[in-house]
Structure 1
Protein backbone atom coordinates (compact mmCIF):
# COMPACT_ATOMS: atom_id res chain seq x y z
CA UNK A 1 0.00 0.00 0.00
CA UNK A 2 2.07 2.89 -1.28
CA UNK A 3 1.26 6.54 -0.85
CA UNK A 4 -0.08 8.23 -3.97
CA UNK A 5 3.15 10.23 -4.37
CA UNK A 6 5.46 7.39 -3.37
CA UNK A 7 7.01 9.64 -0.70
CA UNK A 8 6.77 9.94 3.08
CA UNK A 9 6.95 12.97 5.33
CA UNK A 10 8.04 13.13 8.95
CA UNK A 11 6.23 14.96 11.73
CA UNK A 12 7.49 15.74 15.23
CA UNK A 13 4.78 15.79 17.90
CA UNK A 14 4.68 18.06 20.94
CA UNK A 15 5.67 15.03 23.00
CA UNK A 16 8.94 14.77 21.05
CA UNK A 17 7.90 11.62 19.20
CA UNK A 18 8.61 11.55 15.48
CA UNK A 19 6.35 9.68 13.07
CA UNK A 20 6.20 9.19 9.32
CA UNK A 21 3.19 9.85 7.11
CA UNK A 22 1.42 7.92 5.76
CA UNK A 23 1.22 6.12 9.12
CA UNK A 24 1.25 2.32 9.08
CA UNK A 25 -0.95 0.57 11.63
CA UNK A 26 -1.87 -2.95 12.69
CA UNK A 27 -4.79 -3.63 15.02
CA UNK A 28 -7.62 -5.84 16.26
CA UNK A 29 -11.13 -4.42 16.31
CA UNK A 30 -14.50 -5.28 17.77
CA UNK A 31 -17.37 -2.93 17.02
CA UNK A 32 -21.08 -2.51 16.51
CA UNK A 33 -23.43 -0.33 14.49
CA UNK A 34 -26.42 0.94 16.47
CA UNK A 35 -29.46 2.95 15.32
CA UNK A 36 -29.84 6.55 16.50
CA UNK A 37 -32.24 9.43 16.13
CA UNK A 38 -31.05 11.24 13.04
CA UNK A 39 -32.24 14.63 14.26
CA UNK A 40 -30.04 14.25 17.32
CA UNK A 41 -27.02 13.21 15.23
CA UNK A 42 -27.44 16.28 13.02
CA UNK A 43 -26.80 18.52 16.05
CA UNK A 44 -23.41 16.82 16.58
CA UNK A 45 -22.15 17.27 13.01
CA UNK A 46 -20.46 20.22 11.29
CA UNK A 47 -22.72 22.15 8.91
CA UNK A 48 -21.17 20.56 5.79
CA UNK A 49 -22.05 17.02 6.88
CA UNK A 50 -25.36 15.17 7.09
CA UNK A 51 -26.02 11.99 9.08
CA UNK A 52 -26.66 8.94 6.92
CA UNK A 53 -30.32 7.90 7.06
CA UNK A 54 -30.99 4.16 7.32
CA UNK A 55 -34.75 4.70 7.71
CA UNK A 56 -36.99 7.80 7.93
CA UNK A 57 -35.77 9.76 10.94
CA UNK A 58 -33.18 7.12 11.86
CA UNK A 59 -29.41 7.30 11.43
CA UNK A 60 -26.68 5.18 12.98
CA UNK A 61 -23.51 5.30 15.07
CA UNK A 62 -20.44 3.06 14.94
CA UNK A 63 -18.94 2.10 18.32
CA UNK A 64 -15.63 0.25 18.18
CA UNK A 65 -12.88 -0.91 20.50
CA UNK A 66 -9.45 -1.00 18.85
CA UNK A 67 -6.32 -2.71 20.17
CA UNK A 68 -3.25 -1.54 18.27
CA UNK A 69 -0.43 -4.00 17.71
CA UNK A 70 1.76 -1.48 15.89
CA UNK A 71 1.67 2.31 15.39
CA UNK A 72 4.26 3.36 12.84
CA UNK A 73 7.71 1.86 13.03
CA UNK A 74 8.60 -1.15 10.89
CA UNK A 75 6.01 -2.49 8.48
CA UNK A 76 6.27 -6.15 9.41
CA UNK A 77 3.46 -8.14 11.01
CA UNK A 78 4.97 -8.84 14.41
CA UNK A 79 3.19 -7.97 17.62
CA UNK A 80 6.24 -6.48 19.29
CA UNK A 81 5.34 -3.78 21.84
CA UNK A 82 8.74 -2.15 21.53
CA UNK A 83 8.88 1.50 20.57
CA UNK A 84 10.58 2.43 17.30
CA UNK A 85 12.90 5.30 18.24
CA UNK A 86 12.41 7.12 14.93
CA UNK A 87 8.87 6.68 13.65
CA UNK A 88 6.82 4.56 16.03
CA UNK A 89 4.67 4.99 19.11
CA UNK A 90 3.98 2.52 21.86
CA UNK A 91 0.82 0.58 20.93
CA UNK A 92 -2.33 1.64 22.73
CA UNK A 93 -6.06 0.96 23.08
CA UNK A 94 -8.76 3.20 21.66
CA UNK A 95 -12.54 3.52 21.60
CA UNK A 96 -14.17 5.20 18.62
CA UNK A 97 -17.59 6.82 18.36
CA UNK A 98 -18.17 7.55 14.67
CA UNK A 99 -21.24 9.01 12.96
CA UNK A 100 -21.62 7.81 9.34
CA UNK A 101 -22.17 10.93 7.28
CA UNK A 102 -22.20 12.38 3.78
CA UNK A 103 -21.20 15.79 2.51
CA UNK A 104 -23.80 18.02 0.95
CA UNK A 105 -27.44 18.89 1.54
CA UNK A 106 -29.41 17.45 4.41
CA UNK A 107 -31.70 15.22 2.38
CA UNK A 108 -34.04 12.98 4.37
CA UNK A 109 -34.51 10.17 1.83
CA UNK A 110 -32.02 7.35 2.49
CA UNK A 111 -31.47 6.26 -1.13
CA UNK A 112 -31.40 9.76 -2.60
CA UNK A 113 -28.97 10.88 0.07
CA UNK A 114 -26.21 8.50 -1.08
CA UNK A 115 -26.41 9.29 -4.79
CA UNK A 116 -23.48 11.43 -5.94
CA UNK A 117 -22.17 12.02 -2.42
CA UNK A 118 -19.05 10.99 -0.53
CA UNK A 119 -19.71 8.60 2.36
CA UNK A 120 -17.49 8.81 5.42
CA UNK A 121 -17.61 8.91 9.19
CA UNK A 122 -17.38 11.92 11.51
CA UNK A 123 -15.28 11.09 14.57
CA UNK A 124 -17.29 12.33 17.56
CA UNK A 125 -15.33 10.86 20.50
CA UNK A 126 -12.01 9.02 20.54
CA UNK A 127 -10.63 8.22 24.02
CA UNK A 128 -7.23 6.49 24.11
CA UNK A 129 -4.83 5.13 26.71
CA UNK A 130 -1.60 7.13 26.20
CA UNK A 131 -0.57 10.78 26.01
CA UNK A 132 1.52 10.37 22.82
CA UNK A 133 -1.52 8.93 21.04
CA UNK A 134 -3.55 11.98 22.14
CA UNK A 135 -0.92 14.26 20.58
CA UNK A 136 -0.74 12.11 17.46
CA UNK A 137 -4.46 12.33 16.75
CA UNK A 138 -5.12 15.93 17.78
CA UNK A 139 -2.07 17.60 16.23
CA UNK A 140 -2.07 15.92 12.82
CA UNK A 141 -5.73 15.16 12.07
CA UNK A 142 -7.83 16.95 14.67
CA UNK A 143 -9.18 13.67 16.07
CA UNK A 144 -11.01 14.40 19.37
CA UNK A 145 -8.72 12.22 21.45
CA UNK A 146 -8.50 12.28 25.21
CA UNK A 147 -6.88 9.99 27.70
CA UNK A 148 -9.17 7.54 29.50
CA UNK A 149 -9.18 4.17 31.21
CA UNK A 150 -9.79 1.73 28.35
CA UNK A 151 -9.34 -1.99 28.04
CA UNK A 152 -9.73 -3.67 24.65
CA UNK A 153 -9.15 -7.40 24.99
CA UNK A 154 -9.21 -9.54 21.84
CA UNK A 155 -9.63 -13.27 22.39
CA UNK A 156 -10.46 -16.47 20.52
CA UNK A 157 -14.19 -15.95 21.07
CA UNK A 158 -14.40 -12.19 20.47
CA UNK A 159 -13.36 -8.77 21.75
CA UNK A 160 -14.28 -7.18 25.09
CA UNK A 161 -14.08 -3.39 25.45
CA UNK A 162 -14.47 -1.41 28.66
CA UNK A 163 -14.28 2.40 28.72
CA UNK A 164 -14.33 4.64 31.79
CA UNK A 165 -13.93 8.26 30.71
CA UNK A 166 -12.60 11.01 32.94
CA UNK A 167 -15.95 12.82 32.62
CA UNK A 168 -17.92 9.81 33.86
CA UNK A 169 -18.97 8.45 30.47
CA UNK A 170 -18.63 4.69 30.32
CA UNK A 171 -19.15 1.87 27.80
CA UNK A 172 -19.13 -1.93 27.89
CA UNK A 173 -19.06 -3.70 24.54
CA UNK A 174 -18.74 -7.44 23.93
CA UNK A 175 -18.35 -8.48 20.28
CA UNK A 176 -18.25 -12.20 19.56
CA UNK A 177 -16.72 -13.91 16.57
CA UNK A 178 -19.43 -13.88 13.89
CA UNK A 179 -21.34 -17.12 13.38
CA UNK A 180 -22.68 -15.87 10.08
CA UNK A 181 -20.54 -13.65 7.92
CA UNK A 182 -22.36 -11.19 5.69
CA UNK A 183 -19.22 -10.07 3.94
CA UNK A 184 -15.50 -9.76 4.40
CA UNK A 185 -13.77 -6.56 3.37
CA UNK A 186 -10.35 -7.32 1.96
CA UNK A 187 -7.22 -5.47 0.92
CA UNK A 188 -7.16 -2.08 -0.76
CA UNK A 189 -10.49 -1.01 0.71
CA UNK A 190 -10.58 2.74 1.47
CA UNK A 191 -12.38 4.55 4.28
CA UNK A 192 -12.82 8.30 4.84
CA UNK A 193 -13.00 9.97 8.23
CA UNK A 194 -13.99 13.56 8.96
CA UNK A 195 -12.68 15.77 11.74
CA UNK A 196 -12.41 19.47 12.54
CA UNK A 197 -8.94 21.00 12.77
CA UNK A 198 -8.44 24.74 13.44
CA UNK A 199 -12.06 25.37 12.48
CA UNK A 200 -11.69 23.60 9.11
CA UNK A 201 -13.46 20.38 8.10
CA UNK A 202 -10.77 17.79 7.32
CA UNK A 203 -11.13 14.48 5.56
CA UNK A 204 -8.60 11.66 5.92
CA UNK A 205 -8.23 8.47 3.91
CA UNK A 206 -7.29 5.09 5.37
CA UNK A 207 -6.49 2.06 3.22
CA UNK A 208 -7.10 -1.34 4.82
CA UNK A 209 -5.60 -4.77 4.33
CA UNK A 210 -6.61 -8.04 5.95
CA UNK A 211 -10.06 -9.28 6.86
CA UNK A 212 -12.71 -7.10 8.47
CA UNK A 213 -15.86 -9.15 8.95
CA UNK A 214 -19.36 -7.74 9.10
CA UNK A 215 -21.90 -10.06 10.70
CA UNK A 216 -25.19 -10.41 12.51
CA UNK A 217 -24.91 -9.39 16.19
CA UNK A 218 -26.38 -12.52 17.75
CA UNK A 219 -24.03 -12.56 20.75
CA UNK A 220 -22.97 -8.91 20.80
CA UNK A 221 -23.87 -6.98 23.96
CA UNK A 222 -23.67 -3.24 24.59
CA UNK A 223 -24.12 -1.16 27.73
CA UNK A 224 -23.88 2.63 27.52
CA UNK A 225 -23.74 5.35 30.11
CA UNK A 226 -27.24 6.92 30.04
CA UNK A 227 -25.82 10.41 29.46
CA UNK A 228 -23.74 9.23 26.49
CA UNK A 229 -26.73 7.37 25.11
CA UNK A 230 -28.85 10.53 25.36
CA UNK A 231 -26.07 12.60 23.80
CA UNK A 232 -26.00 10.32 20.74
CA UNK A 233 -29.74 9.64 20.69
CA UNK A 234 -28.96 5.98 20.11
CA UNK A 235 -30.36 2.63 21.14
CA UNK A 236 -28.18 -0.02 22.74
CA UNK A 237 -29.32 -2.80 20.41
CA UNK A 238 -26.68 -3.42 17.72
CA UNK A 239 -27.81 -3.87 14.13
CA UNK A 240 -24.48 -5.16 12.83
CA UNK A 241 -21.18 -6.20 14.38
CA UNK A 242 -17.66 -5.60 13.07
CA UNK A 243 -14.63 -7.74 13.89
CA UNK A 244 -11.08 -8.34 12.79
CA UNK A 245 -8.14 -9.89 14.64
CA UNK A 246 -5.38 -8.54 12.41
CA UNK A 247 -6.21 -5.59 10.22
CA UNK A 248 -3.48 -3.48 8.67
CA UNK A 249 -4.05 0.11 7.62
CA UNK A 250 -2.22 3.06 6.13
CA UNK A 251 -3.50 6.42 7.38
CA UNK A 252 -2.78 9.37 5.11
CA UNK A 253 -2.40 13.05 5.93
CA UNK A 254 -5.69 14.92 6.16
CA UNK A 255 -6.88 17.41 3.56
CA UNK A 256 -9.27 20.37 3.92
CA UNK A 257 -12.72 19.83 2.44
CA UNK A 258 -13.87 22.28 -0.18
CA UNK A 259 -17.42 23.54 0.23
CA UNK A 260 -19.62 21.14 -1.84
Structure 2
Protein backbone atom coordinates (compact mmCIF):
# COMPACT_ATOMS: atom_id res chain seq x y z
CA UNK A 1 0.00 0.00 0.00
CA UNK A 2 1.43 3.37 -1.03
CA UNK A 3 1.48 6.15 1.52
CA UNK A 4 2.71 9.72 1.91
CA UNK A 5 3.37 11.98 4.87
CA UNK A 6 1.16 15.10 4.75
CA UNK A 7 1.51 17.71 7.51
CA UNK A 8 2.82 15.09 9.92
CA UNK A 9 0.07 12.55 9.10
CA UNK A 10 0.52 9.41 7.06
CA UNK A 11 -2.08 9.18 4.27
CA UNK A 12 -2.52 5.74 2.70
CA UNK A 13 -3.67 5.04 -0.84
CA UNK A 14 -6.27 4.42 -2.02
CA UNK A 15 -7.78 7.39 -0.21
CA UNK A 16 -11.32 6.61 0.89
CA UNK A 17 -14.42 8.77 1.19
CA UNK A 18 -16.93 6.93 3.34
CA UNK A 19 -19.82 9.40 3.34
CA UNK A 20 -20.47 12.42 1.13
CA UNK A 21 -23.18 14.28 -0.73
CA UNK A 22 -22.14 15.15 -4.27
CA UNK A 23 -24.05 17.44 -6.63
CA UNK A 24 -23.22 18.07 -10.29
CA UNK A 25 -24.44 20.18 -13.19
CA UNK A 26 -23.20 19.64 -16.74
CA UNK A 27 -23.26 22.56 -19.17
CA UNK A 28 -22.70 22.65 -22.94
CA UNK A 29 -19.94 25.06 -23.96
CA UNK A 30 -18.11 25.91 -27.15
CA UNK A 31 -15.41 23.32 -27.74
CA UNK A 32 -12.94 25.92 -28.99
CA UNK A 33 -13.45 27.99 -25.83
CA UNK A 34 -13.00 24.92 -23.61
CA UNK A 35 -9.81 23.98 -25.45
CA UNK A 36 -8.44 27.48 -24.92
CA UNK A 37 -9.11 27.28 -21.17
CA UNK A 38 -7.40 23.90 -20.68
CA UNK A 39 -4.65 24.29 -23.28
CA UNK A 40 -2.00 24.40 -20.52
CA UNK A 41 -2.78 20.76 -19.67
CA UNK A 42 -1.99 19.33 -23.10
CA UNK A 43 -5.38 17.55 -23.05
CA UNK A 44 -8.18 17.90 -25.57
CA UNK A 45 -11.84 18.53 -24.79
CA UNK A 46 -14.26 15.77 -25.77
CA UNK A 47 -17.07 16.86 -28.07
CA UNK A 48 -20.53 15.56 -27.25
CA UNK A 49 -21.77 17.16 -30.48
CA UNK A 50 -19.74 18.82 -33.23
CA UNK A 51 -18.30 21.99 -31.74
CA UNK A 52 -19.76 21.35 -28.26
CA UNK A 53 -17.85 20.34 -25.14
CA UNK A 54 -19.00 19.89 -21.53
CA UNK A 55 -18.12 21.94 -18.45
CA UNK A 56 -19.10 20.31 -15.15
CA UNK A 57 -19.69 22.28 -11.95
CA UNK A 58 -19.56 20.02 -8.90
CA UNK A 59 -19.99 20.68 -5.19
CA UNK A 60 -19.63 18.22 -2.35
CA UNK A 61 -19.95 17.85 1.39
CA UNK A 62 -17.36 15.27 2.50
CA UNK A 63 -18.61 14.22 5.93
CA UNK A 64 -16.27 11.28 6.53
CA UNK A 65 -13.05 10.75 4.59
CA UNK A 66 -9.36 9.98 5.02
CA UNK A 67 -8.77 13.70 4.39
CA UNK A 68 -11.20 14.77 7.14
CA UNK A 69 -14.53 16.58 6.69
CA UNK A 70 -14.64 19.48 4.23
CA UNK A 71 -16.58 21.28 1.51
CA UNK A 72 -15.42 21.33 -2.10
CA UNK A 73 -16.39 22.97 -5.39
CA UNK A 74 -15.02 21.97 -8.77
CA UNK A 75 -14.83 23.22 -12.33
CA UNK A 76 -14.01 20.36 -14.71
CA UNK A 77 -14.13 19.58 -18.42
CA UNK A 78 -14.77 16.26 -20.12
CA UNK A 79 -11.61 15.34 -22.02
CA UNK A 80 -10.41 12.64 -24.39
CA UNK A 81 -7.87 10.11 -23.15
CA UNK A 82 -4.38 11.18 -24.21
CA UNK A 83 -3.50 9.66 -27.57
CA UNK A 84 -7.12 9.04 -28.54
CA UNK A 85 -7.95 9.92 -32.14
CA UNK A 86 -11.71 10.22 -31.59
CA UNK A 87 -13.23 13.49 -30.39
CA UNK A 88 -16.42 11.76 -29.25
CA UNK A 89 -17.65 11.13 -25.70
CA UNK A 90 -16.53 7.50 -25.33
CA UNK A 91 -14.17 6.69 -22.47
CA UNK A 92 -13.86 10.32 -21.47
CA UNK A 93 -12.40 11.52 -18.21
CA UNK A 94 -12.72 14.78 -16.29
CA UNK A 95 -9.92 17.33 -16.32
CA UNK A 96 -10.11 19.25 -13.03
CA UNK A 97 -9.40 22.91 -13.80
CA UNK A 98 -10.25 24.56 -10.45
CA UNK A 99 -10.96 22.87 -7.11
CA UNK A 100 -11.42 25.15 -4.09
CA UNK A 101 -11.88 23.61 -0.64
CA UNK A 102 -12.46 25.07 2.82
CA UNK A 103 -9.86 23.13 4.85
CA UNK A 104 -6.06 23.31 4.76
CA UNK A 105 -5.26 19.60 5.23
CA UNK A 106 -7.25 18.39 2.23
CA UNK A 107 -5.78 21.24 0.17
CA UNK A 108 -2.23 20.13 0.90
CA UNK A 109 -3.04 16.44 0.47
CA UNK A 110 -4.84 16.98 -2.82
CA UNK A 111 -1.93 18.97 -4.22
CA UNK A 112 0.77 16.58 -3.01
CA UNK A 113 -0.89 13.24 -3.80
CA UNK A 114 -2.58 13.97 -7.12
CA UNK A 115 -1.72 17.47 -8.32
CA UNK A 116 -5.29 18.67 -7.84
CA UNK A 117 -5.60 22.49 -8.19
CA UNK A 118 -6.93 22.88 -4.65
CA UNK A 119 -6.96 26.28 -2.98
CA UNK A 120 -8.81 27.76 -0.04
CA UNK A 121 -12.15 29.50 -0.53
CA UNK A 122 -15.36 30.16 1.35
CA UNK A 123 -17.87 27.48 0.33
CA UNK A 124 -21.40 27.66 1.70
CA UNK A 125 -23.63 24.63 1.17
CA UNK A 126 -27.34 24.16 1.72
CA UNK A 127 -28.15 20.49 1.38
CA UNK A 128 -30.93 19.81 3.89
CA UNK A 129 -33.80 20.67 1.51
CA UNK A 130 -34.68 19.08 -1.85
CA UNK A 131 -33.05 22.12 -3.48
CA UNK A 132 -29.24 21.92 -3.23
CA UNK A 133 -27.31 25.18 -3.18
CA UNK A 134 -23.63 26.12 -3.23
CA UNK A 135 -22.20 29.63 -2.88
CA UNK A 136 -18.45 30.08 -3.49
CA UNK A 137 -16.53 33.21 -2.53
CA UNK A 138 -12.81 33.75 -3.03
CA UNK A 139 -10.83 36.75 -1.75
CA UNK A 140 -14.07 38.36 -0.63
CA UNK A 141 -15.59 38.18 -4.12
CA UNK A 142 -18.50 36.05 -5.31
CA UNK A 143 -17.47 33.38 -7.79
CA UNK A 144 -20.67 31.42 -8.28
CA UNK A 145 -24.07 30.80 -6.72
CA UNK A 146 -25.42 27.47 -7.99
CA UNK A 147 -28.84 26.01 -7.19
CA UNK A 148 -29.93 22.52 -8.28
CA UNK A 149 -33.60 21.61 -8.40
CA UNK A 150 -34.91 18.20 -7.29
CA UNK A 151 -34.84 15.48 -9.92
CA UNK A 152 -36.32 12.05 -10.56
CA UNK A 153 -35.05 9.22 -8.33
CA UNK A 154 -32.49 6.94 -9.97
CA UNK A 155 -31.19 3.55 -8.81
CA UNK A 156 -27.94 3.12 -6.86
CA UNK A 157 -24.88 2.67 -9.04
CA UNK A 158 -21.19 1.81 -8.95
CA UNK A 159 -19.10 3.83 -11.37
CA UNK A 160 -15.43 4.01 -12.39
CA UNK A 161 -13.71 7.37 -12.01
CA UNK A 162 -11.02 8.88 -14.22
CA UNK A 163 -9.69 12.35 -13.46
CA UNK A 164 -6.83 14.35 -14.95
CA UNK A 165 -4.82 17.10 -13.28
CA UNK A 166 -1.98 19.43 -14.24
CA UNK A 167 0.38 20.99 -11.73
CA UNK A 168 3.99 22.21 -11.88
CA UNK A 169 4.18 21.36 -15.58
CA UNK A 170 3.08 17.73 -15.06
CA UNK A 171 -0.18 16.17 -16.27
CA UNK A 172 -1.46 13.21 -14.25
CA UNK A 173 -4.24 10.63 -14.46
CA UNK A 174 -6.04 9.41 -11.33
CA UNK A 175 -8.42 6.48 -11.34
CA UNK A 176 -10.92 5.47 -8.71
CA UNK A 177 -14.32 4.05 -7.92
CA UNK A 178 -17.60 5.56 -6.73
CA UNK A 179 -20.80 4.10 -5.27
CA UNK A 180 -23.84 6.39 -5.18
CA UNK A 181 -27.17 6.08 -3.37
CA UNK A 182 -30.07 8.48 -2.98
CA UNK A 183 -29.60 9.69 -6.55
CA UNK A 184 -31.84 12.19 -8.33
CA UNK A 185 -31.33 13.40 -11.89
CA UNK A 186 -33.10 15.66 -14.38
CA UNK A 187 -32.44 17.48 -17.64
CA UNK A 188 -31.61 21.11 -16.95
CA UNK A 189 -32.39 21.73 -13.31
CA UNK A 190 -29.61 24.23 -12.55
CA UNK A 191 -29.85 27.93 -11.77
CA UNK A 192 -26.51 29.74 -11.81
CA UNK A 193 -25.43 33.25 -10.89
CA UNK A 194 -21.89 34.39 -11.55
CA UNK A 195 -20.00 36.99 -9.53
CA UNK A 196 -17.10 39.32 -10.33
CA UNK A 197 -14.18 36.99 -9.55
CA UNK A 198 -11.79 36.10 -12.44
CA UNK A 199 -13.04 32.49 -12.40
CA UNK A 200 -16.59 33.79 -12.84
CA UNK A 201 -15.41 35.84 -15.82
CA UNK A 202 -13.83 32.73 -17.31
CA UNK A 203 -17.09 30.78 -16.89
CA UNK A 204 -19.00 33.65 -18.46
CA UNK A 205 -16.70 33.62 -21.49
CA UNK A 206 -17.49 29.91 -21.91
CA UNK A 207 -21.16 30.87 -22.26
CA UNK A 208 -22.46 30.28 -18.72
CA UNK A 209 -25.04 30.78 -17.39
CA UNK A 210 -27.13 28.73 -19.75
CA UNK A 211 -29.44 25.74 -19.45
CA UNK A 212 -27.65 22.69 -18.09
CA UNK A 213 -27.67 19.46 -20.02
CA UNK A 214 -28.16 17.48 -16.82
CA UNK A 215 -28.19 17.93 -13.05
CA UNK A 216 -27.46 15.05 -10.66
CA UNK A 217 -27.46 14.84 -6.87
CA UNK A 218 -26.29 11.86 -4.81
CA UNK A 219 -27.12 12.05 -1.11
CA UNK A 220 -24.85 9.17 -0.06
CA UNK A 221 -21.61 8.69 -1.93
CA UNK A 222 -18.55 6.53 -1.28
CA UNK A 223 -15.31 6.90 -3.23
CA UNK A 224 -11.80 5.52 -3.50
CA UNK A 225 -8.94 7.34 -5.25
CA UNK A 226 -5.78 5.54 -6.36
CA UNK A 227 -2.29 6.99 -6.76
CA UNK A 228 -1.69 9.44 -9.59
CA UNK A 229 0.08 8.28 -12.76
CA UNK A 230 2.27 10.81 -14.59
CA UNK A 231 1.51 11.06 -18.31
Tell me, in whole angstroms, the C-alpha distance in 1 between the residues paired with 2:44 and 2:127. Answer: 33
SS of the residue corresponding to residue 50 of structure 1 reads coil
Q: CA deviation at 1:91?
A: 0.3
Q: Which has the larger radius of gyration?
A: 1
Tell me, in whole angstroms, the C-alpha distance in 2 between the residues paired with 1:229 and 1:217. Answer: 23
More off after superposition, 218-227 vs 231-240: 218-227
When normalised by structure 1's length, the TM-score is 0.78
User: Cα 1:185–1:113, aligned 2, differ >3 Å: closer, same or farther?
Assistant: farther
Match of 1:119 among 89, 92, 105: 92
Aligned residue in 1 for 2:14:
22
Aligned residue in 2 for 1:39:
32
Is 2:20–2:61's contact at 8 Å kept on the other side of the alignment?
yes
Greater strand fraction, Structure 1 or Structure 2? 2
Match of 1:177 among 145, 150, 158: 150
Question: RMSD across aligned C-alpha pairs, in angstroms?
Answer: 2.4
Tell me, in whole angstroms, the C-alpha distance in 1 between the residues paired with 2:178 and 2:137. Answer: 29
Is 1:17–1:132's contact at 8 Å kept on the other side of the alignment?
no
Matches within 5 A, 1:139-218: 139-166=112-139, 168-178=141-151, 180-181=152-153, 184=155, 186-187=157-158, 189-211=159-181, 213=183, 215-217=185-187
SS of the residue corresponding to residue 113 of structure 1 reads coil
SS of the residue corresponding to residue 37 of structure 2 reads coil
Tell me, in whole angstroms, the C-alpha distance in 2 between the residues paired with 1:222 and 1:16. Answer: 39
Q: CA deviation at 1:38?
A: 1.2
Q: Please, which runs of 5 or more residues in structure 1 have no aligned partner?
A: 1-7, 73-88
Match of 2:194 among 221, 224, 227: 224
Aligned residue in 2 for 1:63:
57
Is 2:26–2:55's contact at 8 Å kept on the other side of the alignment?
yes
> Which portions of structure 1, spanning 4 or more consecutive aligned residues, are displaced by more than 4 angstroms?
104-107
Tell me, in whole angstroms, the C-alpha distance in 2 between the residues paired with 1:35 and 1:198. Answer: 29
Q: Please, which runs of 5 or more residues in structure 2 have no aligned partner?
A: none
Counting matched residue pairs gives 225
Q: CA deviation at 1:152?
A: 2.1
